[in-house]
Each structure stands twice: as structure tokens, then as C-alpha cells.
């Protein structure tokens, strides 16, 4: 019997998806719950599994945009497999720095150079090609007799070196010695490199959507950013004091994000407009606090949402963030994980950013930017002290949030982080 493999509904308002890759081959036997393919939507990557045992027959290739509900393959429970999956052990890595073991006799003989071109580094291959050198005729000093860049450069230098009959460098009328380097010498000899090749790849569905939303945000909001700096001394002391016990009890690390989420919720409660959004000519106030935390993945930035953050403890918030990070790493983030946020926090500090102006995540009206913690001299009670400081940024939609309210919101976060005991006690 034949069963259709259809593109599943992956979220509200999503009408199409892109086939990212097929995990099984055409004509391969599959079992129920085997992962058949990955689908890329404008929000996340979703895996599609087999619902029946049988042989897979693919009708839509990877990279194709397909409507929700369309048939992309069939599983025939009565057919016989025409191909088998390739064992993982025999798969050749595309970027590996470990070569297959070779015997001493093989590496010591000249025979290894017959296949040397297959093992040339890009730099070596480029220089050899530009200079018209036959790599198989050269002796290498690298591992297993492989050619290195130095080997090729030495040959090039010897070729370009002046012969005994070459006239000595002449002196110009002005008394300056003219260069003896021939004008035809390869640019690599002068420490320069030529322009490399170009590579074109299509944008993923997620990257396209990110680009669209960022452009939409810039064009449809009156974005303004205000800054402040936060003394991280107390939160750092608190973290260092309790991080071991915290991890032992809750199984997650104690980071800064849990405290910042708590401080953000308190600030949103004091400034309701920052937790609201514009819809036509109306302002919609959210009486709940779903905090999006930006997470960087190989495919782009995504923002999973911590729901009802006001009802959660710091430990629960840290556990939720860790769960999202693991799901993002494994490509398991769902549409529901990314929906319903009312405010976003982006931590560029993990990449070393000292200051930035984050872009709003529509329809939200505010986004908090965290940055690198850096020791700086600051004035404390009339004296200069070295303190761990962080620049914090709030980007907001000025159409509905006044500057005074935005500054007050950011000051409220600063106060909460600088006095975490009061924040955690709720006073």
C-alpha cells in the first residue's frame, strides 16, 4: 500500500516551507518514526518523520519551496528497497584536519606524489597553478611527504632568482639603487594575495525572513535608543557565591540572564507602555509578560519566548533558557517556542560587543540590549574604583513611548540588577 508524505502544518499563518534536506535516500527502506526530511519555515526548522514502514519514493527535491499540505513523497509498504543508507563510519568528513593513517613505507616513498594534487591546501594549489608548476614532480617536506606553502614558495623563488649572467642592479642618475625584483614576479612574493573565487548560495527561508523583518522594523517604527551603564559588582558577587550550590540543586548554571529577566519584568510592570504595541490607531496593552531571549544559531538569530516570566523563579528561567539553547543547537525549536513574545532581550556581550543599538522585533515596542562586562574606573562616593561595568541599551518605538518613560524603564532595570537582593525579595 502507498502512503503520501505531506508537508505538515507548522504554525499559524505559515502557508509554505522549504525542503532543507532529505535524511533518507530515494528508494531507501524506512521505518515508522524515522526522520525523513527537514523543513525550513520563516521561523524555525521542523523535522518530518515517517508514519509507516516501507520504501521511500521522493517527488520533491531538497531546496524546493512547497505549499503546506502538498505531497512531497510516498512510502510504499510493499516495495523493495533499491538503495541502502550509507553507514556513518564510511562518510567522508567535508572539513577534517585528521588524515587517514598511512604506513611509514608509503609516506617515505615517492609514490605518494602521484596523488598529491588531491591533498594540496588551497594556498599551495593556487600558487602552483599560477606559476604553472607540476605538483607531482615536487618534493614535499610536510607530513607524509605532502607539499607545504613553503615548499612551493621556495621553488618559485629559485625560479625567479637572477642567474649568474643576470646584470647586477643598476644605479639611477639620482644615485638610487633600482629594484632587482623582476616586474613579472608573482604578487605572493611581495606578501600580497590575489582576489579569491566567489561563491554564491541561496538564502535560507529563515535568513530571508530575518532580512524582511529587520527591514520592516526599520521602515515602520520610529526607533530610538537610550543607554545606561550598570554596575555588575553585586550580581557578580552573588553569582560567584552561590553558583556551585545553585547548579547542584537545580542542575543549571547561574548566569546573568535570569536576574536580567526578573529585572525586566519588574520594569515592564512599572512601565506598561513598553510591554504594549500599536495596532492601527489603538495601543494594545499586554497584561502578561512573555520575554523573548535572542539565541544565535548557524542559520541565523531566533527568539524563543519564556512565557509568564513574572511567575517563574530565577532557576526556572535559567532552565528554560538552557532548554531553548539545546533545542536551537539540535534544530528542534518549534513554532510555539517562538510565538507570543511581548518584549525581547538580546545579549551581544557573549560575542564581545561593548555597545550596540538593537533593532525592534515587531510588533513589540521595546528591546533590551545587554553587552560585555568590562572592568572600568568609576567614581564611587567621591573615589575612583575599578568596577565590572556593562552598557545597557533600550531601543523603543518613539511613536508610543516617550523618552522619559524609556529612560525610567532602563533605570528601573539598572536598579534591579545593581541590588539583586531587593529584586529577588520583591521589595
d(C-alpha 295, C-alpha 297), whole Å: 6
The DSSP annotation for 35-60 comes to EEEEEE-SS-EEEEE-SS-EEEEE-S
d(C-alpha 179, C-alpha 160), whole Å: 14
pLDDT score for 305: 94
- Examine residue 177 and state whether it is found in any structural domain, yes or no: no
**pLDDT of 176-189, one tens digit each?**
555 555 555 555 55
**pLDDT of 350-402, one tens digit each?**
889 999 999 998 899 999 999 999 999 999 999 999 999 999 999 999 999 99
- Examine residue 16 and state whether it is found in any structural domain, yes or no: yes
User: 398 an active-site residue?
Assistant: yes
Cβ-in-10-Å burial (0-12, 13-18, 19+) of 79 comes to middle
The last residue of a domain, from among 82, 106, 130: 82
**pLDDT of 82-91, one tens digit each?**
777 654 443 3
Residue 30, CB-side half-sphere exposure with 13 Å CA sphere = 28
pLDDT score for 62: 86
- Examine residue 295 and state whether it is found in any structural domain, yes or no: yes
**Higher-scoring residue by pLDDT: 282, 18:** 282
- Examine residue 288 and state whether it is found in any structural domain, yes or no: yes
- Does pLDDT of 119 surpass 70? no
- Examine residue 174 and state whether it is found in any structural domain, yes or no: no
For 391, the enclosing helix (H) or strand (E) is strand 383-397
For 395, the enclosing helix (H) or strand (E) is strand 383-397
What percent of the chain has a predicted confidence (pLDDT) above 70?
A: 74
**pLDDT of 60-81, one tens digit each?**
888 888 888 899 999 988 888 7
What residues contact residue 59 under an 8 Å CB cut-off, 6+ apart?
Answer: 71, 72, 73, 74
- Does pLDDT of 199 surpass 90? no
Full residue range of the structural domain in which residue 52 is found: 2-82
pLDDT score for 80: 83
d(C-alpha 45, C-alpha 61), whole Å: 17
- Does pLDDT of 290 surpass 70? yes
CATH of residue 414's domain is 3.30.559.10
Average pLDDT, the chain: 80
pLDDT score for 345: 96
The last residue of a domain, from among 82, 115, 132: 82
**Of 78, 30, 344, 43, nearest to 208 (Cα)?**
43
6, 71 in Cβ contact below 8 A? yes
Catalytic residue among 144, 186, 310, 398: 398
Q: 343-347 and 366-370 as β-strands: parallel, antiparallel, unpaired? A: parallel
Amino acid at each position: 500500500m502507498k502512503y503520501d508524505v505531506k508537508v505538515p502544518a507548522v504554525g499559524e499563518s505559515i502557508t509554505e516551507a522549504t525542503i532543507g534536506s532529505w535524511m533518507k535516500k530515494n528508494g531507501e527502506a524506512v521505518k515508522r518514526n524515522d526522520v525523513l526530511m527537514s523543513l525550513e519555515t520563516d521561523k524555525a526548522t521542523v523535522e518530518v518523520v515517517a508514519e509507516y514502514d516501507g520504501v521511500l519514493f521522493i517527488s520533491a527535491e531538497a531546496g524546493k519551496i512547497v505549499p503546506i499540505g502538498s505531497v512531497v513523497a510516498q512510502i510504499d509498504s510493499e516495495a523493495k528497497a533499491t538503495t541502502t543508507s550509507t553507514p556513518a563510519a564510511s562518510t567522508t568528513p567535508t572539513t577534517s584536519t585528521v588524515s587517514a593513517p598511512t604506513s611509514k613505507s608509503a609516506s617515505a616513498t615517492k609514490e605518494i606524489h602521484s596523488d598529491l594534487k588531491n591533498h594540496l591546501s588551497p594556498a599551495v594549489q593556487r600558487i602552483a597553478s599560477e606559476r604553472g608548476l607540476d605538483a607531482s614532480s615536487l618534493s614535499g617536506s610536510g607530513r607524509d611527504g605532502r607539499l607545504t606553502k613553503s615548499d612551493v614558495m621556495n621553488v618559485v623563488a629559485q625560479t625567479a632568482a637572477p642567474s649568474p649572467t643576470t646584470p647586477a642592479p643598476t644605479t639611477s642618475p639620482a644615485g638610487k639603487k633600482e629594484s632587482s625584483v623582476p616586474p613579472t614576479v608573482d604578487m605572493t612574493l611581495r606578501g600580497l594575495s590575489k582576489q579569491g573565487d566567489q561563491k554564491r548560495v541561496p538564502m535560507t527561508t529563515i535568513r530571508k525572513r530575518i532580512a524582511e523583518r529587520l527591514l520592516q522594523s526599520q521602515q515602520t517604527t520610529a526607533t530610538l535608543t537610550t543607554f545606561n551603564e550598570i554596575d555588575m559588582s553585586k550580581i557578580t558577587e552573588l553569582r560567584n557565591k552561590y553558583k556551585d550550590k545553585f547548579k547542584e540543586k537545580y542542575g543549571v548554571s547561574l548566569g546573568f540572564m535570569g536576574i536580567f529577566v526578573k529585572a525586566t519584568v519588574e520594569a515592564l510592570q512599572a512601565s506598561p507602555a513598553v510591554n504594549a504595541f500599536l495596532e492601527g490607531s489603538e495601543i494594545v496593552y499586554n497584561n502578561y509578560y512573555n520575554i523573548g531571549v535572542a539565541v544565535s544559531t548557524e542559520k541565523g538569530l531566533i527568539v524563543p519566548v519564556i512565557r509568564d516570566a513574572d511567575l517563574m523563579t530565577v532557576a526556572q528561567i535559567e532552565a528554560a533558557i538552557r532548554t531553548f539553547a539545546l533545542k536551537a543547537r539540535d534544530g528542534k525549536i518549534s513554532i510555539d517556542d517562538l510565538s507570543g513574545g511581548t518584549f525581547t532581550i538580546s545579549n551581544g556581550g557573549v560575542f564581545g560587543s561593548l555597545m550596540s543599538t538593537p533593532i525592534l522585533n515587531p510588533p513589540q515596542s521595546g528591546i533590551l540590549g545587554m553587552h560585555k562586562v568590562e572592568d572600568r574606573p568609576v567614581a564611587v562616593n567621591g573615589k575612583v574604583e575599578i568596577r565590572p561595568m556593562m552598557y545597557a541599551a533600550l531601543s523603543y518605538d518613539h511613536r508610543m513611548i516617550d523618552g522619559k518613560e524609556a529612560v525610567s524603564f532602563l533605570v528601573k532595570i539598572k536598579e534591579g540588577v545593581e541590588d539583586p537582593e531587593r529584586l529577588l525579595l520583591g521589595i
